[in-house]
């Protein structure tokens, strides 16, 4: 039983070792922002490799982080400016950082 548990822990650790931070830079005109109950902000159709181009926040993200993200993306959509988003490339596509270019 201990060997099975050890193997399971090692597999989980090796999976996270393959995750890397991916940077994308794009004018987000095709992105669909969605706010779900419980302050869960996500992006669909962003072009990531996740299901339907999903981008989402980590559990550590604050409401202020999500509000700034919403405002940044909407400003970029209206102005045609590029944004950058850094996210992990695991199945969850969690946002690591973001911003808008001048």
CATH no. for residue 90? 2.40.50
34-68 confidence digits (pLDDT tens): 999 988 999 999 999 888 999 999 999 999 999 99
Q: Is residue 31 part of a domain?
A: yes
The confidence band for 10, taking pLDDT boundaries of 50, 70 and 90, is very low
Q: Is residue 81 part of a domain?
A: yes
Would you say residue 27 has pLDDT above 80?
Answer: yes
Task: Answer whether 46's CB lies under 8 Å from 53's CB.
Answer: yes
- What is the rounded distance in angstroms from the CA atom of residue 49 to the CA atom of residue 54? 8
Q: What is the DSSP letter of 52?
A: G
Task: Identify the three-state secondary structure at position 6.
Answer: helix
Q: Is residue 1 part of a domain?
A: no
What pTM does this model have? 0.78
Q: Which structural domain range is residue 88 located in?
A: 21-100
Would you say residue 91 has pLDDT above 90?
Answer: no
- What is the rounded distance in angstroms from the CA atom of residue 35 to the CA atom of residue 12? 30
Q: Specify the number of domains making up the chain.
A: 1
């Amino acid at each position: 039983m201990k060997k099975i548990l050890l193997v399971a822990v090692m597999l989980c650790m090796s999976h996270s070792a393959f995750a890397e931070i991916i940077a994308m830079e794009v004018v987000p005109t095709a992105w669909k922002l969605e706010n779900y109950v419980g302050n869960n902000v996500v992006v669909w159709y962003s072009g990531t490799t996740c299901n339907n181009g999903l981008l989402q926040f980590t559990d550590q993200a604050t409401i202020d982080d999500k509000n700034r993200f919403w405002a940044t993306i909407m400003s970029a959509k209206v102005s045609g400016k590029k944004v950058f988003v850094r996210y992990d490339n695991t199945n969850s596509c969690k946002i690591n950082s973001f911003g808008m270019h001048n």
